[in-house]
Amino acid sequence: MSQEPTSAEEARGRVTELIRDARICLLTTTAVDGRLVSRPMGLQAAEFDGVLWFFAYADSAKVRQIRVNPQVNVGFSDQRHHAWVAVAGTAQEGWDRDRAEELWNPLLRTWFPDGLDAPGITLIKVRASSAEYWESPGSTVVNLLGFAKAAATGRSPKAGENHEVSY
């Protein structure tokens, strides 16, 4: 677990560290009927500077939802380090061939067999407005023992550190 960040810059740096290796996250959009819809997405390798990038098909439900309501949330879980990150922001869809070439990973051929020439391929850009992260001390066993102790004593368990960051 990290020490308490002493500045907004350090907290943003910690968010970057926590999501860097996540690779898979949950992108949550709002459906036309108001329901929140989450789905796993592959985060594209790029230095996190307040912007997250994803490949998608322009005719997908998530892209249609973003066009109507661009407010999204992107959630990350790092089980190895017992850490979680939620990034709130505004998404937009658009094709930028140069950016796509920078972000392309051969593993994406699973979803886009024609590569960057796949019909309807596009990019989703999420600009973060805020992020919140949680880090829990110790292992899963230590956390479970803490929850058991809390249940027995009636006191809240020590849930770890929680920090909010603005972008």
Residue 24 is encoded by which pair of tokens? 């898979």
For residue 101, give every residue at least 6 positions away whose Cβ sits within 8 Å of its Cβ, in sequence order, or none: 116
Question: What whole-number distance in Å separates Cα of residue 98 and Cα of residue 75?
Answer: 27
Within a domain: 65: yes
- How far apart (Å, rounded) are the C-alpha atoms in residues 57 and 78? 27
CB-based contacts of 48: which residues, under 8 Å, 6+ apart?
15, 16, 19, 20
pLDDT at residue number 79: 80
Average pLDDT, the chain: 85
Which CATH number does the domain housing residue 37 bear? 2.30.110.10
Asked if the structure places residue 1 within a domain, the reply is: no
- Range in 5-14, 41-50, 115-124, 139-148 the model is least confident about: 139-148
Residue 57 in tokens: 């098909």
Average pLDDT over residues 96-123: 96
Q: How confident is the model at residue 146 (pLDDT cuts 50, 70, 90)?
A: very low
pLDDT at 86: 96
Domain that holds residue 134: 8-166
Decide if 3 is inside a domain. Answer: no
Q: Which residue has the higher pLDDT, 144 or 77?
A: 77
Amino acid at 38: S
Number of domains in the chain: 1
Residue type at 122 in one-letter notation: T
Which pTM value belongs to this model? Answer: 0.81
